[in-house]
Structure 1
């Protein structure tokens, strides 16, 4: 191949470039967006897959994200590969921030119902081992509006962007086809 690498990057090099892309975050984001726009499927299919994965990444259901993505992608007729890929936004680097936001929002929503809940600073390993199930209710209550907000914040702009990209790509391909047909000589009938 003409522009292929001489050697394939190993696992650590691929992991590093996934976290810290050499081309910069803005260019990497545009590249990923362009890749999504070039995938086959309707704008709803593609945008719903990305939005479902993003929304599920904001929930505290660790270990169930893939299963829930499978079910919800079938239910909403969304892209399963995109939904599965975007559930990985919840990773060891983003997990503390997501759980902190879920817990604090859940405590704020519960108000007087969550009186026995300690602030985040007071949570220790002994509290998690003895009374850890008390944290589940504020996490669930706090993650619900964040997941809905995350879904809406991703779905609507991405759906419009993908639709626009698909129309532009289709018009470019049609223009290229007509130009090629115009250049071809007419076949003589003998």
Structure 2
């Protein structure tokens, strides 16, 4: 079952509460509804985490934590999924979001010069920002919805497969027992 796999990798809430740096939010971390691994909480955590990850804003982890608290979904998954946009993947993801936004706004895509500088980025930011914001928002909503649906379906399929396997196992055991 997916729950066992996820529990193997998630931190324990008591271990996090004991950390000195997290004592300020210890009462929030200790909320049991933020640590539950159910089909609903995991699917919602994927939605919240991926939505937060695809937005070009600072403090994405705080947004994911607030979203997990607001929607009562799994906190560590929501925060962990934000790291999909890490320093290596962020330029590719945000460039794709920008291209999507430019396509939606029907504006030409700006090509980057051979040498990108902060000065060039600052000059182009006014022109790039509307397309980046729209593309990021659309991509975040679509990816979050697809992730939610996919997790719910995969979880359901896994549980169904487990039930069928259990039924087959019981049937084999009944057939193997000699009748008196």
Q: TM-score when scaled to structure 2? A: 0.63
Q: What stretches of structure 2 of length at least 5 have no aligned partner?
A: 11-35, 174-180
The 2-side partners of 1:132 and 1:87 are apart by: 24
Secondary structure of 2:145's aligned partner:
helix
Query: What value does the CA root-mean-square deviation take over the aligned residues?
Result: 3.5
Cα distance change, pair 33–110 in 1 and its aligned pair in 2 (3 A): farther
Q: Deviations over 1:99-132 (max 9, x none)?
A: 1111112222223xx57xx613249422223453
The 1-side partners of 2:47 and 2:6 are apart by: 12
Secondary structure of 1:121's aligned partner:
coil
The 1-side partners of 2:37 and 2:164 are apart by: 17
Q: Which residue of 1 aligns with 2:176?
A: none
Q: Which residue of 2 aligns with 1:108?
A: 103
Alpha-carbon contact 1:43-1:160 (below 8 Å) kept: no
* The structure with more radius of gyration: 1
Alpha-carbon contact 1:100-1:120 (below 8 Å) kept: no
The 1-side partners of 2:146 and 2:7 are apart by: 17
**Number of residue pairs matched?**
142
The 1-side partners of 2:41 and 2:124 are apart by: 41
Q: What stretches of structure 1 of length at least 5 have no aligned partner?
A: 1-31, 180-190
Deviation of residue 46 (structure 1)?
0.8
